[in-house]
Amino acid sequence: MTQIWNQLVDSLSKDRAFAMVTVVETVGSAPQSPGARMLVYEDGSISGTVGGGAVEHRLIQDAREVLEQGSPRLVHIDLKNDVGMICGGRMVAFVEPMLSGYQVAIFGCGHVSRALAPLLVGLEFRVTVVDDRPEWADPAAFPTGVRVLCQPFEQALSSFTRLARTAVLVMTRSHASDFELLDRLVKTDSPYLGIMASKNKAAEFRRRLEAEGVSGQTLARVCMPVGISIGSSSPAEIAVSIAAQLIDHRRRSFQPKVAQ
C-alpha cells in the first residue's frame, strides 16, 4: 500500500494523469478484498493490483475509458458471467480519474496578468505565466504556486503537453505575438482560448484566420475579447471579468458526474 501512495504522489507531482481503481465490495469468492487499489495510466500501464487476470484486464479497460471521459464510474462485475472466472463471486470497484487540476496558461506578464494570477490561485486554478522579458517574468511579482517561465512564447507553448486540460489566455505586449499564438492555439484541443483584444483587433484577427481557412465553428470557441461584459476598464476589473468567465467554463466543462 505504501508503494501505491508513493506512486500516486509522484504522479501528481509530475502532472501525470491516471485513474485509481479501488475495490469497494466483494461477495463470495473474489481475487481481492475491499480496499485493494490499482493505478492505471493512459498508456495502460499500472501500479498495484486488484487481483490480476481477467477481472484486472476489465478494470484497466474501464479505467482508461474513465480517464478519457473525465468522470468517475462505479463498476459491478459478476466474475463468472462478465469475465469468465470460475470462482463465481462478485466485485464492485470505484474507478476515479485523477487528472491534473484545471490549468491556466497566461502568455504575457503585464498588468492584467499580474492582477489575474492571484485571483486564479485563490480560486484553485493551477497557473503558469509566460513572458520573454526577464523584468516582467519576475517570480516576485506573482504569488507562491504560480509557475513563471521566462522564455520565447513559441518555445514555452511547446512545454504544455496537456493542452486538452489547459485554458490559455493570450495577452502579450504586441499584436504580432498575440496573433502568432492564436494562429497556433486555434488548431489545438485547448478547451478555452481567450485573447485580450479590442473589438477592432478581434475583428481583424478573425478576418485573418478566416482567410487561412479556419472554420466559423472553430472561431466560435475563441473568447475574443476575453472576459464577461461588466464594463471593466482597469487591470483589476478586467482580471475579475476573466476570472468569472473561467469559473463558468470550468464548472460547465469539468464538473464530474458519477456513472454506474
Q: What is the DSSP string of 242-256?
A: HHHHHHHHHHHHH--
What's the pLDDT at 139? Answer: 95
Asked whether 51 and 36 are in contact (CB, 8 A), the reply is: yes
| Span 96-117, pLDDT tens digits | 988 766 789 999 999 999 999 9
Residue 21 has pLDDT above 90, yes or no: yes
> 15-19, 57-61, 110-114, 246-250: which has the minimum mean pLDDT?
15-19
Residue 132 has pLDDT above 80, yes or no: yes
User: CB within 8 A of 128, min separation 6: which ones?
Assistant: 103, 104, 105, 106, 146, 147, 148, 149, 160
Higher pLDDT, 13 or 187: 187
Residue 91 has pLDDT above 60, yes or no: yes
What's the pLDDT at 214? Answer: 92
Asked whether 87 and 79 are in contact (CB, 8 A), the reply is: yes
Cell numbers of 247, please? 469559473
Cell numbers of 179, please? 496573433
What's the pLDDT at 259? Answer: 39
Confidence of residue 4 (pLDDT cuts 50, 70, 90): confident
Residue 144 has pLDDT above 70, yes or no: yes
What distance in Å separates the CA atoms of residue 93 and residue 1, rounded to the nearest whole number? 17
In a 3-state reduction of DSSP, which class is residue 167? strand
What's the pLDDT at 134? Answer: 96
> 5-19, 102-116, 118-132, 200-214: which has the minimum mean pLDDT?
5-19
Domains of the chain (ranges, CATH numbers): 2-98 (no CATH), 103-254 (3.40.50.720)
Cell numbers of 44, please? 495502460
State mean pLDDT over 124-142. Answer: 94
What distance in Å separates the CA atoms of residue 24 and residue 138, rounded to the nearest whole number? 47
- Percent of the chain, pLDDT > 90? 59
| Span 160-217, pLDDT tens digits | 877 877 899 999 999 999 999 999 999 998 889 999 999 999 999 999 999 999 998 8
Cell numbers of 135, please? 523584468
- Secondary element (H or E) of residue 91: strand 90-98
> 25-29, 126-130, 168-172, 228-232: which has the minimum mean pLDDT?
25-29
Residue 19 has pLDDT above 90, yes or no: yes
